[in-house]
Chains A and B, each alone.
Chain A
Amino acid sequence: MCGIAGRIAGPDGQVGADLVELMQAQRHRGSDSTGFGIYGPPRQRGYVVRMVGGDRSVVESSVERFAVASRAGGADLIEDPTWDDLNQPHVSVRAVVDDPARPFADWLSAVDHLPGLEIQSVGRSLEIIKDLGNAYSVAEAHGVRELAGTHGLANARMATESLVSPTASHPFWARPFPDVAIVHNGQLTNYYLLKERLIRAGYDFKTENDSELIAVWVADQMAQGMTLEGALELSKSALDGVFTYILATADQLVFAKDRWAIKPLAVVEESDGGLALATEEQALRRLFVDEVEVLNYDGPRQSRLWPVAGVAVPA
């Protein structure tokens, strides 16, 4: 049991603050860790890189090693990296790199295997922030409420399949596809088979978490020419187990659900283009305290795609 949420912001752009409320209302579904994937205003140039370092005492040398590796991969840092000053052994690092002069995959392989530093997300707009604790404590620690943007997704995790750690929690970035991320409520039973195939095809996985597979699997289907709608449809039969997952790209928010209809999803569509999704309706009512039309996607094999209006995605 986990709780998930998604948000397309209205004109106020309060993605972070709204997702924090949606997740705190679902903390009873699992608060060993909470994570947020926020899509800020898309950059025309360069990528935001979010990382977690395992050992705070060596963070400066880790970040320096990242900068050297990034330059070797063809991309200079265009902002000074920053990191949190929390009192815990691990450390969350944010860097912004230029468009790599070499192919993106080459740059990524140059920076993606550094000791002591694990990349959580890369995107023109996507930033994944995840840590141990409930929504309010993660929001307090990492300033999530202040993050504005166009859309986002979030997860409150009750670990069933792998380690409790910031890196094994959700959202998962669809490595190596910039700006693609998922959150998942459920358990997959055939993930290791599909993961094995994707590893043989050259993909890289960082955790033993079943949910990481969904992100890469969907993005791989699209890389092979399938539409996002087609990949969602195929996922309902290709992925085995119980699941409701929400996936976001730079300009779309989607969900898909298994054939067993076990994991709930409730949705409010606002008249100004805003959208809110959550596992439980009572979480949505944190944002909509007056009576509101709520769509309950309770049936099997359901999916939906919502475009995020007004996002100009750079090539």
Chain B
Amino acid sequence: MSDRFEIEAADRPLRQVNSDIRAAVADGHKVVVRRPLSRHNLGVGLPAGADVVFDGSVGYYCGGLNDGATIGITRNAGWGIGEAMATGHITVDGYCGMSLGASMRGGLVHVRGDSGPRCGVAMKGGDIVVEGTVGYLTGFMSHAGRIVSLGGADDACGDSLWGGEVWVAGPIASLGVDAEVVEPRQDEVTGITELLARVGVDGSFDWKKIVSAQRLWHFESRDATAWLMI
């Protein structure tokens, strides 16, 4: 990373750090941000073509509203990474906290470690790949897009899914409300294999594809017990 333009985060004002990142990107530099110290809101709203690495752990909402940037985080990330991103590619080398990719519409978030609860909550498109396990309530109320876990899933996987997909290789602690495991088509499996190849993962996996059972698409009050599995 020695060829990158260096910006120090540490205890500098966050707005200044983010302005410096944008200015360096506008000048055509690749950027490395030193000492991010788990601070929140780093690298929010970065434009297409930006290439920014955070050298350490970041806090909440890093890479949120991403509009096409490539973002790397060399250690752990806090909550809401890549929230509402439109497109782009975010890589977290360590653990990624709750609600990663919340409401994202496109792009790819790749986590090399485990993820916290509500992975891909309310996502509207794009892809999430977690090489470790995904936490409680993964895919909660997701409308579209693919969430892929290579290491298994914690409780309530796929809870209240609307139209998205959760793909799990490994054990699933339990399925969530209105989620069901279905047999994937071969072309869908090929699509997942291609997605994994983009993040440097190959191999064959025993997939469970989880989708909405669609009972909650047409909710009626007499079915209330279907909601009350909590």
Q: Which of A259, A261, A281, A299 contacts B59 (CB 8 A)?
A: A281
A284 within 8 A of B: yes
The B interface is mostly helix, strand or loop, or mixed, namely loop
B145 within 8 A of A: no
The A interface is mostly helix, strand or loop, or mixed, namely loop
B residues lining the A interface (CB < 8 Å): 10, 35, 37-40, 56-57, 59-60, 75-76, 78-79, 95, 97-98, 116-118, 135-137, 154-155, 230
Given contacts A298-B117, A300-B155, contact A280 B97 (CB under 8 A): no
Contact assessment for A289 and B117 in the assembled complex, using a CB-CB cutoff below 8 Å: no
| Beta-carbon nearest neighbor of B74 in chain A | A291
Contact assessment for A291 and B98 in the assembled complex, using a CB-CB cutoff below 8 Å: no
**Bound-state Cα–Cα, A298 to B117, Å:** 7
A residues lining the B interface (CB < 8 Å): 259, 261, 264, 280-282, 284-285, 289, 291, 294, 296, 298-300
Q: Which of A264, A282, A296 contacts B37 (CB 8 A)?
A: A282
Q: Which residues of A contact B230 (CB under 8 A)?
A: 259
Known contacts A291-B56, A296-B116; can you find 14 more A-B pairs with CB under 8 A? A261-B116, A261-B117, A264-B79, A280-B60, A280-B78, A281-B59, A281-B78, A282-B37, A282-B40, A284-B38, A285-B37, A285-B39, A296-B95, A298-B98
Interchain nearest-CB distance for A258 vs B (Å): 12
Contact assessment for A264 and B98 in the assembled complex, using a CB-CB cutoff below 8 Å: yes
| Beta-carbon nearest neighbor of B95 in chain A | A296
Contact assessment for B117 and A281 in the assembled complex, using a CB-CB cutoff below 8 Å: no
**Bound-state Cα–Cα, A280 to B79, Å:** 10
**Bound-state Cα–Cα, A5 to B57, Å:** 20
Interchain nearest-CB distance for B112 vs A (Å): 16
Q: Which residues of A contact B40 (CB under 8 A)?
A: 280, 282
Q: Which residues of B contact A289 (CB under 8 A)?
A: 10, 35, 37
Q: Which residues of B contact A285 (CB under 8 A)?
A: 37-39, 57
Q: Which residues of A contact B10 (CB under 8 A)?
A: 289
Interchain nearest-CB distance for A282 vs B (Å): 4
**Bound-state Cα–Cα, A83 to B3, Å:** 60
| Beta-carbon nearest neighbor of B56 in chain A | A291
* 11 pairs from A and B in contact (CB 8 Å cutoff): A264-B79, A281-B78, A282-B39, A282-B40, A282-B59, A285-B38, A289-B10, A291-B57, A294-B38, A298-B117, A299-B136
Interchain nearest-CB distance for A293 vs B (Å): 9
| Beta-carbon nearest neighbor of B155 in chain A | A300
**Bound-state Cα–Cα, A282 to B39, Å:** 5
**Bound-state Cα–Cα, A298 to B135, Å:** 8
Contact assessment for B136 and A281 in the assembled complex, using a CB-CB cutoff below 8 Å: no
Contact assessment for A261 and B98 in the assembled complex, using a CB-CB cutoff below 8 Å: yes
10 nearest A-B pairs in the assembled complex, by CB-CB distance: A298-B116, A281-B38, A282-B38, A285-B37, A261-B117, A282-B59, A285-B38, A298-B98, A282-B39, A300-B136
Interchain nearest-CB distance for B95 vs A (Å): 6
Given contacts A261-B98, A281-B78, A291-B75, contact A299 B38 (CB under 8 A): no
Q: Which of B76, B117, B135, B136 contacts A294 (CB 8 A)?
A: B76
| Beta-carbon nearest neighbor of A292 in chain B | B57
Interchain nearest-CB distance for A276 vs B (Å): 13
Q: Which of A259, A264, A294, A298 contacts B57 (CB 8 A)?
A: A294
**Bound-state Cα–Cα, A286 to B190, Å:** 46
Q: Which residues of A contact B38 (CB under 8 A)?
A: 280-282, 284-285, 294
**Bound-state Cα–Cα, A15 to B116, Å:** 30
Contact assessment for A296 and B76 in the assembled complex, using a CB-CB cutoff below 8 Å: yes
Q: Which residues of A contact B59 (CB under 8 A)?
A: 280-282
Q: Which of B57, B135, B154 contacts A281 (CB 8 A)?
A: B57
Contact assessment for A300 and B57 in the assembled complex, using a CB-CB cutoff below 8 Å: no
| Beta-carbon nearest neighbor of B75 in chain A | A291
| Beta-carbon nearest neighbor of A296 in chain B | B97
Contact assessment for A299 and B117 in the assembled complex, using a CB-CB cutoff below 8 Å: yes
Contact assessment for A298 and B155 in the assembled complex, using a CB-CB cutoff below 8 Å: no
Q: Which residues of A contact B98 (CB under 8 A)?
A: 261, 264, 298
Contact assessment for A261 and B39 in the assembled complex, using a CB-CB cutoff below 8 Å: no
Interchain nearest-CB distance for B46 vs A (Å): 20
Interchain nearest-CB distance for A266 vs B (Å): 8
Q: Which residues of A contact B37 (CB under 8 A)?
A: 282, 285, 289
Given contacts A285-B38, A291-B75, contact A300 B117 (CB under 8 A): yes
| Beta-carbon nearest neighbor of A300 in chain B | B136
Interchain nearest-CB distance for B15 vs A (Å): 14
Contact assessment for B95 and A299 in the assembled complex, using a CB-CB cutoff below 8 Å: no
Interchain nearest-CB distance for B117 vs A (Å): 5
Interchain nearest-CB distance for A87 vs B (Å): 31
